[in-house]
């Protein structure tokens, strides 16, 4: 059966939603993401020993993922309203986060567990190989396995990627029901959804990495704090594509499998 999720059309619709509500989505992502990403980027007071570095990585990963999950939760009502032909503001997004704050934190833990598990397995493979292969070969092996483990992590979270959309759009749902609904909705379209999130991640990290490379290529010209702010501003412009993609995919799958467009039409006629 042909998947109802087309990568190009989904990304085009997500970008279109972001363009029409850019100011709202940018403010929401900045308000939620800036403090959390700042915490994840500062040097947390953990002793720099071999035993402590996994804890440091875990803490930074948790706060960065929390920023992303909170932004997705806040962005979904804005994008959903736009898809329905209405307009939603910053308050609606923040209310969604407030109502589902516990679920957002718990889901963040689930996402971090997926990323950290795949990363820990990758590190267990990478470190011995890099120790036995010095120089360029060792680095090439390390980077290759690191990228592979990141792809595995994205694949692990793909089946539950619509959980927040379920929680926001179906208020009676619990976290367990949201996870189960996401698992069912994504069945048969997971490769396409994986591709959508892969493109979003590549875009996000390419921008952040590009600014980092430029800042290191011309050290001292611009203060490091200014580079960090510039990187965060660009990230906040790109991050809203993720909740937009989640909302679009959720709508596409429900229309294809549950006739959501007919339900909305009946509600509109009845109202």
* pLDDT in single tens digits along all 271 residues of the chain: 456 677 888 888 888 888 888 888 888 888 877 777 677 665 554 555 555 556 666 677 777 778 888 888 888 888 888 777 666 677 777 788 888 888 888 888 888 888 878 877 777 776 676 667 666 776 777 777 778 888 888 899 999 999 988 888 887 788 899 999 999 999 989 999 999 999 988 888 787 777 777 777 776 666 666 767 777 777 778 888 888 899 899 988 888 877 655 444 344 333 4
| Residue carrying the six token digits 């367990």 | 176
pLDDT tens for each residue of 154-197? 899 999 999 988 888 887 788 899 999 999 999 989 999 999 99
Q: Closest Cα to residue 61, out of 78, 94, 39, 77?
A: 39
Every domain of the chain and the residues it spans = 7-270
Q: Which two tokens stand for residue 145?
A: 């396995």
Helical spans, DSSP H, in 133-240: 135-157, 163-169, 175-186, 190-217, 224-238
What is d(CA 134, CA 127) in angstroms, rounded to the nearest whole number? Answer: 11
pLDDT tens for each residue of 240-266? 888 889 989 998 888 887 765 544 434
Euclidean distance between the first and the last CA atom of the chain, given in angstroms as a whole number: 35
Q: What is the mean pLDDT of the chain?
A: 77
DSSP 65: H
DSSP 50: T
Q: Are 147 and 139 in contact (CB under 8 A)?
A: no
Q: Which two tokens stand for residue 173?
A: 């749902």
Around 52, how many Cα atoms within 13 Å sit in the side-chain half-sphere?
Answer: 7
pLDDT at 62: 76
Could you give the angle at which helices 53-83 and 22-41 cross, rounded to 10 degrees?
170
Q: Which two tokens stand for residue 57?
A: 């990585």
Global confidence as pTM = 0.80
């Amino acid at each position: 059966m042909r998947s109802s999720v087309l990568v190009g059309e989904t990304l085009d619709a997500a970008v279109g939603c972001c363009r029409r509500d850019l100011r709202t989505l940018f403010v929401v992502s900045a308000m939620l993401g800036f403090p959390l990403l700042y915490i994840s980027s500062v040097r947390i007071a953990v002793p720099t020993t071999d035993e402590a570095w996994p804890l440091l990585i875990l803490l930074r990963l948790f706060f960065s993922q929390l920023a992303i999950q909170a932004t997705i939760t806040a962005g979904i009502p804005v994008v959903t309203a736009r898809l329905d032909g209405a307009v939603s503001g910053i308050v609606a997004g923040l209310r969604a986060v407030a109502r589902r704050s516990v679920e957002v934190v718990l889901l963040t833990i689930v996402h971090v567990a997926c990323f950290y598990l795949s990363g820990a397995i990758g590190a267990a493979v990478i470190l011995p190989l890099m120790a036995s292969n010095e120089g360029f070969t060792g680095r090439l092996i390390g980077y290759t396995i690191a990228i592979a483990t990141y792809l595995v992590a994205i694949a692990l979270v793909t089946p539950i990627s619509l959980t927040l959309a379920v929680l926001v759009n179906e208020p009676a749902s619990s976290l367990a029901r949201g996870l189960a609904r996401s698992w069912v909705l994504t069945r048969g379209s997971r490769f396409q959804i994986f591709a959508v999130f892969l493109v979003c991640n590549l875009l996000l990290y390419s921008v952040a990495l590009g600014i980092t490379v430029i800042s290191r290529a011309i050290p001292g010209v611009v203060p490091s704090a200014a580079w960090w702010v510039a990187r965060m501003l660009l990230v906040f412009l790109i991050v809203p594509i993720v909740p937009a993609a989640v909302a679009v995919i959720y709508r596409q799958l429900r229309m294809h499998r549950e006739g959501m467009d007919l339900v909305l039409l009946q509600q509109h006629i009845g109202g």
